[in-house]
Structure 1
Amino acid sequence: MSDRSEHIVVVGAGAAGLMAARELARAGKRVTILEARDRCGGRIHPLPAAQFGYAADGGAEFVHGEAPVTRALLHEAGLSLQAIEGTQRSFDGTKLLREIHHDPHEAELHAALNDLKDDLTVADFLRRHFAADEYARMRHSIRRMVEGYDAADPERASTLALREEWMNGGHGMQARIVGGYGALVAFLAAECRGHGVAIRFGAVVSAIEAGRGAVVRCTGGEVFACDDVILTVPLPLLREIALPEAVREKASAADDIGFGNVVKILLRFTRPWWRDGAADLDDLTFLLSDETIPVWWTQRPAEHPVLTGWFGGPRTAELSGLDAQDLVDAGIDSLAAMFARPRDDIARSVVAAIAANWARDPFARGAYSWATPRTRAAQTILARADGPVLFSGEALYRGRDMGTVEAALASGLETAETILRR
């Protein structure tokens, strides 16, 4: 049995931190989680069920693709998934259209992607292979996907990392957890506490010192000595923690990993007014546009009268000066344009509203990571267990769904296994 006196500090109570802490505590390690917020979850942000009529998510919401670690954990927790069902629409500036995924140049795109051997940025790939005017619609669609879905900058994003996503049109299998991601976080947190993990809220880590072990210092003056420390904070926060020179040099590899922002808006209405009129929108799931808040979705197949707005990628900087109410107003303006309805009518039917610009969250500074052509090499450097300070989180995941909760859980599990193999 492992020596319980061995102490490991995990910085961050998000998905990666909770997963790593649970596995280490199960193996007999003494574990302390230091969390800057007053809750677990990090960029998973469960909202009160009374506010939106169901367990809504202000942060991560969907389970993408196969997600084997997530699904195994859900099974263990007795939780289930609900697949998204319905049709996608787009707004062309004048009317709503049923989204058609086929592009006349799709075969050419797939051929160019299949032939690609050396990585290059998305923007360079498009300039090299599809610069002609006839490809304008496809370029726009790809850029919209890269910026909106991946929250990435086409001028820096890796084409090879996104190749599989493009090959299936960017529409992999998606589902939601019944009860929201908050139910999964609650299960993991309870598991941690049940195995003796101490979770300290309001603990903002300011510095780490390393020698034979590590010393973690918090802004409030608290000091924690440990054998190992696992940093699971979002990439931008690594710059705000004083690290030993060797660790700082290692952490600089994170500059080669992209990190994007998301603006997310939830609006609850008195009724699902978007189903009114001649357009058959009863089964509407996603709605894409070029409005200020360009992407919206319903809770289909659930019947909640809620629309969620989404704006991802570098262009979210255009809204950096807006507060939460300004973002809600921008969302209502966008809906009024897309559905050709009086803005005041939509505004009067709002029962509850929340807007989050994740770049302005002091403990996130953005939403999630994405790959550049140099990211895989950077991840290899950051994953090295060559001292008492280790890095973990969705940005270090080397699988296909980087930037997801699955990536965070898998990374936390891998980091715990690395320590246990020592």
Structure 2
Amino acid sequence: MADNSEHIVIVGAGAAGLMAARELARAGRRVTVLEARDRCGGRIHPLPATEFGYAADGGAEFVHGEAPVTRSLAREAGLTVRAIGGAQWSFDGTDFSQESPRDPYDDRLHATLKDLTEDVTVADFLHRHFAGPEYARLRHAVERMVEGYDAADPARASTLALRDEWMNDGLAAQARIDGGYGGLIDYLAAECRNCGAAIHLGATVASIEESGGKVAVRCAGGAVHACDRVILTVPLPLLREIALPAAAREKAAAADDIGFGSVIKILLRFTRPWWRERKPELSDMLFLLSDETIPVWWTRHPDWHPVLTGWFGGPRTAQLAHLDPQGLIDAGIDSLAAMFSLRRDEIARDLVAAAAANWANDPFARGAYSWATPRTRAAQEILVDPDGSILFSGEALYRGRDMGTVEAALASGLETAGIILRG
């Protein structure tokens, strides 16, 4: 029979941590959540609606694909998940076009991917099958998608893990939650508290120790939480910053075989949608891709908020690691000015509000989200093994298709809670 007096400490109040906490607290377990930030949500970061005209997201924003756990939770919370449409445009340095650089090669690319049986890195895949100069545009387009959409390094990223995304156009099936992901986090946090879970903010975990069948979780401020089990839901890079018992430390080393990407996100709110005035053909624009410093932009289409969101993902973001938020905002304005043949001051004078984050510089994230290498599935099996009193959970450990998403985090938290409850 399950021991309902069992005390479980969950490190991290992001989507995975809160989901696990709610399930365990509902089942009568004593649950304590320790969160280093002064807010819940982790890499979900709501921004003030007063600044952007709607509940903007400084972190995770889109609902990808079917996302059954996310959609079910949203319904429970009374939130609407709304599909979004619109066109994907590209800027080649001279003109705007809806043609993808991949279009002329798609049939061969899909056929080659379909026949692939051995997993290789994306760089190796392109070198083996599309090495000639006639494929230069295809290689560039694929590498930029891997970097920009997956925040991954083509030299390490798994081709098989990305195959479904390429075959099914990963940018196509997108949705947003009305009011942003913040509403989902608020609901989960309230549910946790209503079920008796304690959530401690500003609690940075420094070490976890085991002795005599008990576990002690020590915080940087000196607080110690004795418990029976711990669930670590922190982003992968932070596993290196928490002192762990030998067995857990050995298990955590498997995380080195899981990629973890960096992302820069910039939100710019203007007095009016000047890009539609400048280029009326862009009235249906959702995404805009280019080779500018900030290479990806999107709109709120079909909503008419005059907001552009800039995005730069992957290892090349290290080039901008020295910039503070204002420096990133300036880089975004410069990129837009170059694409639309405007002076930067013409764009800047219409700016009402702006926010920017380089998630690699965030001390409680050290990056944005995970991606698969050819060795990731084996690493995940090691990390999700339930043996021992320290368990690992989070978006990086989700073994479904949409690893790295909020859906992945929620599903992983649910799975980890289930392991404990079934044990």
Normalising by the smaller structure, the TM-score range is: over 0.9
* 1:204 and 1:218 in contact (8 A); partners too: yes
Query: In structure 1, what is the Cα distance between the partners aligned to 2:358 and 2:247?
Result: 34
Query: In structure 2, what is the Cα distance between the partners aligned to 1:102 and 1:321?
Result: 33
Q: What letter is aligned with 2:410?
A: L
Secondary structure at the aligned position of 1:398 is classed as: coil
Give 1:100 deviation, angstroms.
3.9
Secondary structure at the aligned position of 2:103 is classed as: coil
Q: Is 1:27 the equivalent of 2:10?
A: no
Q: What letter is aligned with 1:342?
A: R
Equivalence for 1:49: 49
Give 1:2 deviation, angstroms.
5.2
* 1:91 and 1:288 in contact (8 A); partners too: yes
* 1:121 and 1:373 in contact (8 A); partners too: yes
Tell me: CA distance 1:101–1:6, structure 2 relative to 1, closer, same or farther (3 Å).
same
Query: In structure 2, what is the Cα distance between the partners aligned to 1:295 and 1:284?
Result: 12
Equivalence for 2:347: 346
Partner deviation per Cα, 1:243-287 (whole Å, 9 max, x = no partner): 011110000000000000000000011111111135422221110
Query: In structure 1, what is the Cα distance between the partners aligned to 2:297 and 2:287?
Result: 6
Pairwise mapping of residues 20-419 of structure 1 onto structure 2 (< 5 A)?
A: 20-100=20-100, 103-211=103-211, 212-419=213-420
Query: In structure 2, what is the Cα distance between the partners aligned to 1:105 and 1:186?
Result: 45
Query: In structure 1, what is the Cα distance between the partners aligned to 2:199 and 2:281?
Result: 49
Q: What letter is aligned with 1:245?
A: A
Deviation larger for 48-57 or 82-91: 82-91
Partner deviation per Cα, 1:64-109 (whole Å, 9 max, x = no partner): 0000000110111111112112111111101211244762222211
**TM-score calculated relative to the size of structure 2:** 0.98
Give 1:297 deviation, angstroms.
0.5
Give 1:3 deviation, angstroms.
4.2
Equivalence for 2:15: 15
Query: In structure 1, what is the Cα distance between the partners aligned to 2:70 and 2:262?
Result: 23
Secondary structure at the aligned position of 2:104 is classed as: coil
* 1:64 and 1:172 in contact (8 A); partners too: no
Q: Percentage identity across aligned positions? A: 74
Q: What letter is aligned with 1:360?
A: N
Give 1:169 deviation, angstroms.
3.0
Tell me: CA distance 1:55–1:196, structure 2 relative to 1, closer, same or farther (3 Å).
same
Deviation larger for 206-215 or 399-408: 206-215
* 1:165 and 1:172 in contact (8 A); partners too: no
* 2:329 and 2:355 in contact (8 A); partners too: yes
Query: In structure 2, what is the Cα distance between the partners aligned to 1:13 and 1:137?
Result: 42
* 2:26 and 2:195 in contact (8 A); partners too: yes
What RMSD over aligned residues (CA atoms) do the two structures have, in Å?
A: 1.1
Query: In structure 1, what is the Cα distance between the partners aligned to 2:206 and 2:102?
Result: 50
The runs of 5 or more residues in structure 1 that have no matched partner are none
* 1:145 and 1:170 in contact (8 A); partners too: no
Secondary structure at the aligned position of 1:315 is classed as: helix
Query: In structure 2, what is the Cα distance between the partners aligned to 1:200 and 1:245?
Result: 27
Q: What letter is aligned with 2:328?
A: L
Query: In structure 2, what is the Cα distance between the partners aligned to 1:35 and 1:235?
Result: 15
Deviation larger for 277-286 or 235-244: 277-286
* 1:2 and 1:28 in contact (8 A); partners too: no
Query: In structure 1, what is the Cα distance between the partners aligned to 2:190 and 2:99?
Result: 43
The runs of 5 or more residues in structure 2 that have no matched partner are none
Partner deviation per Cα, 1:267-313 (whole Å, 9 max, x = no partner): 01111111113542222111000000000000011111100000000
Query: In structure 2, what is the Cα distance between the partners aligned to 1:114 and 1:106?
Result: 12
Q: What letter is aligned with 2:341?
A: A
Query: In structure 2, what is the Cα distance between the partners aligned to 1:162 and 1:247?
Result: 30
* 2:2 and 2:421 in contact (8 A); partners too: no
Secondary structure at the aligned position of 1:249 is classed as: helix
How many residues are aligned here? 422
* 2:258 and 2:375 in contact (8 A); partners too: yes
